[in-house]
Amino acid sequence: MPERARQTDYDSLRREFTWRIPEKFNIGVAASGAHEPDRLALVSVAGDGSARHTTYGELDRLSNRLANGLAGLGVGRGDRVGVVIPQSLETGLAHLAIWKLGAVSLPLASLFGPDALGYRLSDSGACLVLSTPENMEKVGEAAPDLPVVATGKQWDDLMAGSSDAAPDSDPTSAEDPAYLIYTSGTTGPPKGALQAHRSLHGHLPGFECYYELADKAPEGRADLASLPGVSADPDRHDVIWTPADWAWIGGLMDVLIPAWYFGMTVVTADRDFDADWAAHLMADQGVTLAFLPPTSLKMMRAAAVSRADDLSLRAVFSGGEPLGEEMLAWADEHLGVRINEGYGQTECNLVVGNCGSVWPVRPGSMGRAIPGHEVQVQDDEGNRLLGETGEICVLGPDPVMMLEYWGRPDATEDKYRGDWLLTGDLGVEDDDGYLWFKSRKDDVISSMGYRIGPGEIEESLMGHPAVAMCAVIGIPDEIRGQVPAAFVVPKAGVEPGDSLIVDLQQHVRTRLAAHEVPRFIEFVEDLPRTTTGKIMRRALRAEAVR
């Protein structure tokens, strides 16, 4: 398709786009109860290669049964329920059931340790936790007073006496809260981004663009959520997979829930990511769409994966860091697919990206504002910048924007300048509206698709008896993008050395999560500070680069 035609198509999509969000809307109902009961919703691949198949009819009935069981435990409208379950049928059922009750799901990664879990469960005021038996010990340590229902016998007993009928609860408004995902801040504890049921609609234009659901629309045009649920080719049945944890916004709302909304088949697999295994999984399951974070793609390239002839892929989405022309060319040759990069954050997701069949991809760029979203690069006074570095900003109201930071009105207010949400990311916008990411404005570390706040790692290190003071920054890593690095001032009388480094790393690993463990620890006598006593992380970053 000529570039001029693509340009016109993009402009038409933006100009003619209209949000059509019903006043009453529930994600759980929309994602499970609107498809043919025999349609395949989920393929759960076990470690031995066997697979369990779940239809949409089963998805609806089982989530209704779980919702009624939770209601019997006292869960009701607005209550927060923690979900500490890795990718599995139970994870999806948990979110659907919680939403159907009008309650709020709290996705929590199984890789979190008790400190990370404890803070989030306490701060959110969770009333109950859904877990796996493997996670029970740390959940119990994190929140000893909270009731927990574990998958297996407890889960089965809860559902056994429950009805298959839809729960008896008032319909939710599109503006009612649906899920609460914690993001990492630059200092202090993480913040909970509260999202409404309408956020599913807000994700749909990006989902349709990234996964090329617009590629067969007349004259390059697509519905792009003007009429959500009606894709350009409703007879085509896609199969989608991601290695991203469904506890993160990328796994939950970039893949699982929109895919179920569109009636796709989702694949989930019970094992850690391995490059060759991932290629075999996608080939064996006939995966047509995938969300592959940059780290996954780099690992596949490093392993010399080349399965283009075996794969059924027709579109891949990636985001988190620019891939570059060389990586895009590798994917085209060895995976046989075009990659559409995109951009968003938990507070305001899937707002920038590509749809290669409709507008041309420019390697290194995050893409353009997705139709339905207004994105600009602005200076500190709110003036639009072209060709100059500024902050990436998103205009509200927008259905994909968070309702608030949970319990933090000041932080919520600081996130906006007038009607514009401030992403905290620096970028450049060119004359054609393509955006180019430059860096974080603050100190958030981007590693393997995770956004890591140094404050939580620093707090964990400070809990070790050998640490007097510390600071954490992100340093470049060829595979992960960035990794955490810590500068530690030992307490008087403590002898620094390799054994203490290992001890500190293990302390963070068991209290937080593996991806938050400092890969490098340097012992220092003091830390650079401002005149007001704040640690100057930028000085540490400059020193680390040398």
**Which one, of 484, 491, 517, 516, lies nearest residue 503 by Cα?**
517
**Which one, of 478, 418, 470, 420, lies nearest residue 448 by Cα?**
478
Domain closes at, from 437, 464, 493? 437
pLDDT tens across 23-81, in order? 999 999 999 987 899 999 999 999 888 999 999 999 999 999 999 999 999 999 999 99
| SS3 call for 448 | coil
Q: Quick one: 484 exposed, middle or buried, by C-beta within 10 A (0-12, 13-18, 19+)? A: buried
Q: Are 56 and 37 in contact, with CB atoms under 8 Å apart?
A: yes
Question: Does residue 287 sit in the same domain as residue 432?
Answer: yes
Read off the pTM: 0.83
Question: Does residue 517 sit in the same domain as residue 399?
Answer: no
Question: Does residue 7 sit in the same domain as residue 140?
Answer: no
Question: Does residue 224 sit in the same domain as residue 292?
Answer: yes
C-alpha 207/C-alpha 203 separation (Å) is 6
Res 2 pLDDT > 90: no
Count the Cβ atoms, other than its own, within 10 Å of residue 152: 11
Question: Does residue 417 sit in the same domain as residue 463?
Answer: no
Structure tokens at 488: 């530690």
DSSP strand pairing (520-523 vs 481-490): parallel
Question: Does residue 311 sit in the same domain as residue 329?
Answer: yes
Q: Which sign, positive or negative, has the C-alpha torsion 50, 55, 58, 63?
A: positive
Question: Does residue 234 sit in the same domain as residue 346?
Answer: yes
In a domain, residue 133? The reply is yes
Res 222 pLDDT > 60: no
In a domain, residue 532? The reply is yes
In a domain, residue 461? The reply is yes
Res 477 pLDDT > 80: yes
Question: Does residue 299 sit in the same domain as residue 366?
Answer: yes
Res 517 pLDDT > 60: yes
Res 217 pLDDT > 80: no
Exposure string (b/e) for 266-283, b if CB count within 10 Å is 16 or more?
bbbbeeebebeebbebbe
Q: Are 334 and 308 in contact, with CB atoms under 8 Å apart?
A: yes
State how many domains the chain has: 3
DSSP strand pairing (191-196 vs 177-183): antiparallel
Question: Does residue 122 sit in the same domain as residue 10?
Answer: no
| SS3 call for 20 | coil
Question: Does residue 423 sit in the same domain as residue 291?
Answer: yes
Q: Where are the beta strands (DSSP E) in 27-79?
A: 40-45, 51-55
Q: Which helix (H) or strand (E) holds 542?
A: helix 537-545
Q: How would residue 97 be classed by pLDDT, with cut points 50, 70 and 90?
A: very high
Question: Does residue 126 sit in the same domain as residue 110?
Answer: yes
pLDDT tens across 307-364, in order? 888 999 999 999 877 787 888 989 999 999 989 999 999 999 999 999 998 899 998 8
pLDDT tens across 157-193, in order? 999 989 999 998 899 999 999 999 998 654 457 899 9
CATH number at residue 347: 3.40.50.12780
In a domain, residue 476? The reply is yes
Domain closes at, from 412, 437, 462? 437
DSSP class of residue 173?
B
In a domain, residue 70? The reply is yes
Domain closes at, from 437, 471, 497? 437
Q: How would residue 546 be classed by pLDDT, with cut points 50, 70 and 90?
A: low
CATH number at residue 522: 3.30.300.30
Mean confidence (pLDDT) of the chain: 89
Question: Does residue 537 sit in the same domain as residue 405?
Answer: no
Q: Are 273 and 294 in contact, with CB atoms under 8 Å apart?
A: no
Q: Look up the domain containing 393 and give its range.
A: 3-20+198-437
DSSP code per residue over 94-126: HHHHHHHTT-EEEE--TT--HHHHHHHHHHHT-
In a domain, residue 117? The reply is yes
Q: Is the pLDDT higher at 469 or at 282?
A: 282
CATH number at residue 104: 3.40.50.980
In a domain, residue 391? The reply is yes
In a domain, residue 415? The reply is yes
